[in-house]
Structure 1
């Protein structure tokens, strides 16, 4: 599989990024990876939108990597998104911490990290930067947009606001409006970070500290929402970490050890400020809030596949059905599949035969 990684300065002081809030950013650089080959007509391009803690490295294995890209199960030669057919592009999104401008990047106005001076973002801001990346690559129309969870929300925003740029779209395990419970989980995670004494009002990077305890707790709690109860039970049950329970306040159960590992390993690859900013974007996302939300779809709608998983309680099937109802109400050609899986929200990252067959069939029709 032909793979390459790039950094592109997409916005400058002469041509700044104007955000939905009205704020502007004088410099925005984006890191992105590509897989496969763009055809001469530039008609085989697929855009991948990543989830909350994802990055540009969606597939393949780079030198020194212990594991392949986060969606390597889905992207590659002969896989559902077949890189022998498609030219696949995946960027790290705005506000991220893996090469794209985010709150820990240097503010050109001060020479210091942005910290909490970084502007609040909206889903439409992600799409604005994605679209500029398409212009940078000379791609005017995408054969498909694909995303899971927060990535699926980006796909939904894009097809609602700029449908003429997209032929097909896949929205997986996503939501068009978070419930109070969803928001509550994210709120507690943010509070864990901000109440860590090392947070330093968001200036921790400039002061040489890091709210590691808060960020690890936020990750541990979020990870509970990514698996189903059946998934936890089948993986861990009530097994002791060290053969037998010691009856103490330490890491005694196997599931506690698992969460501890998830929290600690997260610290080496993610930034606390990005976690704050990106989760807040999800809270405010509500694209069907206005009566004219689907007005732009009438002219040239994309064909859409919506996928949910029956044990996903983070974004349950009802979240997907709500998206389907709105799209079908706007006469968008929409297919829907609920996939059976014991693994909850994380199912969209895993190899599940029915799930992969569904994606493969949709992409095969897109290529026809």
Structure 2
């Protein structure tokens, strides 16, 4: 695949809303295309729809192999027939977020005001709330008045919270997993390191790398390597790699590597083949801007005063990117406004990425919660 065609020319399933969308930054995108996938069947009453929201580097191919990259569906462990998110029972929707690079309008999309050019760094600043408003357009497109549930991990969990705040009457249940109501200073700092690595790459060309026929691969790879460290725990890295050398015993010769170095370099090199650098800049900034309490006078409970959904908050004991304390804070705020909220901390040594991995207690918890909500909502 031509590197300049990446993320633009593949025929992803999509719908275009020519009326566009007004953004939090004050600008208007005159037309918005949303790439999406669905699984299962929407019932006649249109009451069994679950929206799954992806994380920073995810996409809409939640339960099937991505036809462009060849990668397996990122949540096949969780979504599918007979699984916790059972597609024999639920109609599952997953869309690529606004600002993404898998078919939804983002920096690689055609520029609205400069024909023949992509948006690049001209793409407006977007927020998590903007992403959710575009998802709402997609849900409305299906004629769905009320989602059965919105589920997401990490940045997807931020979207689930935004749904509950922006559209409180449009969902029965919200499941923010390994998430937080704001992006911490430490998390912003890690993102900034990644962004600076991209900016420093000579191939970046102020975001116009597409016109030079190159990509800032080194910078984007370093950004991915830095971020990936935050997704795993020290215990997981030690268990998998320890201090093992890749191809040597004793003191390494020049150029030889520790196994963990080789692993991170693989993560970086594989990432640049499937993701756009300008999308990475746009989406990390959207995460950094997220702050529900800050939007409501510094009082998180105020954000949820109109919320009607049933909530399940899930954290993982070894997640230091979005630690359990942040989920507890959301649970307290919801309890303060008498919301229906359940909270579970899953014991795991896998770190932040535990929500993507085999965690039987987590899978059973989500399955049970959805079953209880289905009974409450009268879903057969």
User: What TM-score does the superposition give when structure 2 sets the normalisation length?
Assistant: 0.92
Q: Does 1:354 align with 2:354?
A: no
Unaligned runs of 5+ in 1: none
Q: CA deviation at 1:330?
A: 1.7
- Structure 2 matches for 1:21-32, cutoff 5 A? 21-32=25-36
Q: Does 1:163 align with 2:168?
A: yes
1:306 is aligned to: 313
Whole-angstrom CA distance in 2 between matches of 1:299 and 1:260: 46
Q: Does 1:37 align with 2:41?
A: yes
Deviates more, 1:73-82 or 1:324-333: 324-333
Aligned residue among 162, 183, 186 for 2:188: 183
Task: Find the residue that maps to 2:16 and give its secondary structure.
Answer: strand
Aligned residue among 276, 281, 284 for 1:271: 276
Q: CA deviation at 1:177?
A: 1.4
Whole-angstrom CA distance in 2 between matches of 1:192 and 1:260: 15
Task: Find the residue that maps to 2:211 and give its secondary structure.
Answer: coil
Task: Find the residue that maps to 2:147 and give its secondary structure.
Answer: coil
- Structure 2 matches for 1:238-253, cutoff 5 A? 238-245=243-250, 247-248=252-253, 250-253=255-258
1:115 is aligned to: 120
Whole-angstrom CA distance in 2 between matches of 1:64 and 1:92: 14
**Alpha-carbon RMSD:** 1.6
Deviates more, 1:219-228 or 1:61-70: 61-70
Whole-angstrom CA distance in 1 between matches of 2:127 and 2:371: 33
Q: CA deviation at 1:246?
A: 5.0
For this pair of structures, how many residues does the alignment match?
Answer: 361
1:20 is aligned to: 24
Q: CA deviation at 1:250?
A: 3.0
Contact 1:168 1:303 in 2 (8 A): yes
Unaligned runs of 5+ in 2: 1-11, 376-380
Q: 1:298 to 1:82 in 2, by over 3 A?
A: same
Whole-angstrom CA distance in 2 between matches of 1:96 and 1:281: 11
Q: Does 1:134 align with 2:139?
A: yes
Q: CA deviation at 1:27?
A: 1.6
Whole-angstrom CA distance in 1 between matches of 2:218 and 2:307: 48
Aligned residue among 60, 74, 78 for 2:78: 74
Q: 1:174 to 1:63 in 2, by over 3 A?
A: closer
- Structure 2 matches for 1:253-268, cutoff 5 A? 253-268=258-273
Contact 1:160 1:293 in 2 (8 A): no
Whole-angstrom CA distance in 2 between matches of 1:64 and 1:107: 23
1:365 is aligned to: 372
